[in-house]
Amino acid sequence: MTEFQKIFLFYVFLYFLFKGVMYVALYVALIIAEKIARQRLEHFRRLHRKEKAAERERWKVAYSLHDKKKVVPNIQPLDISQLVNNPNSFTAYSQVNTSNRHKHYAGNRVYPFVS
């Protein structure tokens, strides 16, 4: 092995050593930065929760009125007996007992205004 090859291999070794040290250093720096970022995030979340609780207490009446407006009653489907007896329902039985509701209806004429 010549002198130039030994120098070349030495510099290649130094290059890979430097690259490995940089990898480890950047990895450790990333771990530390992530830890600090997580601590700051938790701090800001606590601060936000505290501010939100104070705002909720300050605007308690307005929030309760808004929440009452948002509450939607749970609508259940009608039973078959309710559907049959419901005058506002358009079912197959809608024409039953219509004589008392439609006094102007004269009979079987399709067009009541044309004779």
Is residue 93 within 8 Å of 85, Cβ to Cβ? Answer: no
Residue 101 lies in a domain: no
**Residue 49 within a domain:** yes
Number of domains forming the structure of the chain: 1
> pTM for the full model?
0.46
- pLDDT tens column, 24-70: 999 999 999 999 999 999 999 999 999 999 999 999 999 888 888 87
The answer to whether position 54 is within a domain reads: yes
Whether residue 50 is contained in a domain is answered as: yes
pLDDT category of residue 79 using cuts at 50, 70 and 90? confident
Domain with 38, as residue range(s), is 3-70
Which residues have C-beta within 8 Å of that of residue 86, sequence separation ≥ 6? 78
Residue 110 has pLDDT above 70, yes or no: no
Query: Residue 57 half-sphere exposure, CB side, CA atoms within 13 Å?
Result: 6
pLDDT reading at 108 higher than 70: no
For the chain, give the mean pLDDT.
82
